Structure 1
Amino acid sequence: MRTQPPVRPEPAPRTRTLASPPSLVPLLARGTLLSPFKRPRPDAPVPATRLLLPGVRIDLARLAAYERVCGFPTGADSLPVTYPQVLAFPLAMRIMAGRAFPLPLPGLVHTSVEITRYQECGATAEYELGVLVERLAPHRRGTEATVLTEARAGGRLVWESRSTYLARHRPRNADRDHGATDGTPGPPPDAPGHLPDAPAHPAARPGPLPALAEWRLAPDVGRRYGAVSGDRNPIHLHPLAARPFGFPGAIAHGMWTVARALAEYGPPQAVRIRAEFRAPVPLPGTVAYAARGPFFELRSGGRVHLAGEVRPLPARGA
């Protein structure tokens, strides 16, 4: 009887420590120049590097600008729950703009985020940030990458997130996956202005949430958020820049929509947040913020753009 060879575990990522944050402008240019040579597919290898940036201190002026754009109160001694994602964005860009990352950078769509804040993150603390690409996965509209971001203070993990990013392309098995059983073709993977269907929330999610506020979004929301976050993906900046990627006009950043919603919600310090970016938020536009219990959403008309939930964590050591 032949024995099967042992399964070889995936090698652990190499850790590379940086002395300073990468500059975003060259990374954006590099990612744009390399994008035509990338052929996204879910079975491609992920970059085998974990980037670390120690000794990170908060620029309080930049923090205040971020808080104003996203609707958080300014001057608090703790960071907004979404802000470590902004701090680590240059590290994520360093990986995603490189040759080893198989998805083209321009036009990547942020489809979901899960954030866990284990304790209060002080605005005057020193942090070590880490970023790696955990995996690629097939999606019916292309290939999706999961990026893990961590923040440590005093050697202790205080915050982490997992974000998924979709590169839209026609999958290899598109004819099989997009055709219905009755022979009716499904929607094309590059349908303009449409993001992928997100997984449903748990059954405990109630029906339509009560609208608590209505927000009118100016056409420059994407440019203002890009200035404070460094995320200058062209789909968020101007209608003419968004159209080559299948969008009829500029759309709001997913992380701006979840930050704005959480600024309204006011989550506890120790918390786990899940949010799905279900449909693009066009700019300019009007959206309703709705919430009940742990659930929140942004919607316009009968369309849900963002759906999320907030769950408090037990205190450490409890």
Structure 2
Amino acid sequence: MPSLSASLVRGVVTSPFKRAGRDGATLPTVRLTLPAAPVAPGHLATYRRVCGFTEPGGTAGSGRAATGHPLPLTYPHVLAFPLAMRLMTGRAFPLPVVGLVHTWIEITRHRTARVDESLELLVHAAELTPHRRGTEVTMVTEARVAGALVWESRSGYLSRHAVPPRARTDADAGAEAGAGKGKGTGAEADARAGAGADVGAGAGADTGADSWSPAVRSSPPATGGGLPPVAEWRLPGDLGRRYGAASGDRNPIHLYPLTARLFGFPRAIAHGMWTVARCLAEAAEPELIRHVRADFRAPVLLPATVTYAADAAGGSFELRDGGGGRLHLTGTLVRDS
């Protein structure tokens, strides 16, 4: 299978020849598969450390007593990322991968996937749907153990392009009209571009000490509206490089201010999938979460101070900026009963 670097180069080369929104566009029917393989303990420990997951009986990303423990709910997404990139940069994929924006994700755990199990990973493109900002593709990822489905996700990726007014549905109009009612302003909705664009290249390991973890405060400041605050995190400017090393997603918008400015951002932005993983790591008993839906609302410009908030029952959560104004992410989750 081509490396992520090769996939990104191919995406850059082929994107100018693809036109999002063209009539009659179809998705490739191929299902890409990564044969069953054991999880690499070092890579998993790095991912846990960067995202804040704590192993039972250990510290965040300690790697101790790993055998038999559940994998973080978001981890199979990282393992399957090279497959998704290979599919989205292929000739048959109708949307240009450059500028493709990760807008939402749903993850379902059918049964607990353990660290000591070998996962077979499968990725396919499910559907193309009109969006008020362009065209959205739904990508499906599955993880199987001995042929049995144990985990799956569905992700929305938006390709922005001009949409004729007649093509905009009543639902789209309603969504725009209600954009400022409790779930972020219209400006925030527009800023979703780049909030979690999962397009990157390369692989590697994070060898440095993490600098965000000591910044958690037990009593975050009160904010107006929304869910009650639970924790406040100060995110360093190199967080995108750290998560990129752990996940393989080295999209330039996440790495340095200079590379981010090339794509219209004043500073590097945090990965959307990091924000989801960090929120789940903060939730009570994350190993019991069996379903999560997260919507990316606005990018997190690095460095940043953000507030994690959740309802008392733990079924809804959100990530806001430190002042409580801009909404970066909203989500809901379901636990085992």
Residue 211 of structure 1 is matched in structure 2 by 229
**1:195 aligned residue:** 192
Kept in 2, the 8 Å contact 1:118–1:269? The answer is no
Question: Alignment partner of 1:231: what SS?
Answer: coil
Asked if structure 2 preserves the Cα contact closer than 8 Å seen for 1:242 and 1:249, the reply is yes
Return the letter of the residue paired with 2:279: A
Partner of 1:33: 13
Letter in 2 for 1:210: P
Structure 2 residue identity aligned to 1:195: R
Q: Tell me the residue number matched to 1:295.
A: 316
Could you tell me which of 25, 40, 52 is aligned with 1:71? 52
**3-state SS of 2:48 partner:** helix
Q: Does the CA-based 8 Å contact 1:252-1:280 persist in structure 2?
A: yes
SS, match of residue 288 in structure 2: coil
* Matching residue of 1:49: 30
| Superposed CA offset, 1:151-171 (max 9, x none) | 001211000000111112222
Which residue number corresponds to residue 18 of structure 1? none
Contact 1:46/1:100 (8 A) holds in 2: yes
Alignment pair present for 1:305 and 2:323: no
Structure 2: unaligned runs, 5 residues or longer: 55-60, 174-185, 194-224
1:190, distance to aligned residue in structure 2 (A): 11
Tell me which structure has the larger Cα radius of gyration: 1
Matched, 1:252 2:274: no
How many residue pairs match? The answer is: 278
Measured in 2, the distance between the counterparts of 1:246 and 1:137 equals: 26
Unaligned runs of 5+ in 1: 1-20, 181-188, 197-206
Question: What is the letter of the counterpart of residue 308 of structure 1?
Answer: G
The TM-score, its normalising length taken from structure 1, stands at 0.80
In the other structure, the counterpart of 1:285 is 304
Is 2:180 aligned against 1:161?
Answer: no
Corresponding position of 1:9: none
Partners of 2:21 and 2:316 in 1: CA distance: 34
In 2, the alpha carbon distance for the partners of 1:145 and 1:48 equals 13
Task: Identify the match of residue 130 of structure 2 among 134, 138, 142.
Answer: 138
C-alpha spacing 1:46/1:190, structure 2 compared with 1 (3 Å): farther
Q: 2:245 corresponds to which residue?
A: 227
Query: Equivalent residue for 2:43?
Result: 62
Asked if 1 retains the 8 angstrom alpha-carbon contact of 2:39 and 2:116, the reply is: yes
Question: Do the aligned partners of 2:73 and 2:287 also contact (CA within 8 Å) in 1?
Answer: no
**74-83 or 63-72, which deviates more:** 74-83
Cα pair 1:66 1:228 within 8 Å, conserved: yes
Deviation string for 1:41-81 (max 9, x for gaps)?
17511112111112221111011011111011133422100
Change (3 A) 1:278 1:246: same
CA distance in 2, matches of 1:241, 1:191: 22
Distance (Å, rounded) in 2 between the aligned partners of 1:37 and 1:170? 17
Q: Supply the distance in 2 between the matched residues of 1:38 and 1:192 (Cα, whole angstroms).
A: 25
Asked whether 1:120 is paired with 2:100, we answer no
1:85-124 map, 5 Å: 85-124=77-116
**TM-score, with normalisation over the residues of structure 2?**
0.76
Which shows bigger deviation, 161-170 or 236-245?
236-245
Out of 256, 259, 262, which is 1:238 matched to? Answer: 256
CA RMSD of aligned residues (A): 2.7
Instruction: State the one-letter code of the partner of 2:320.
Output: R
CA contact (8 A) 2:188 2:327 kept: no
The sequence identity of aligned pairs, in percent, is: 58
In the TM superposition, what whole-angstrom CA distance separates every residue of 1:255-310 from its partner, at most 9, and x where no partner exists? 00000000001334361111101111111111001111211110012221111111
Distance in 2 separating the partners of 1:114 and 1:253: 16
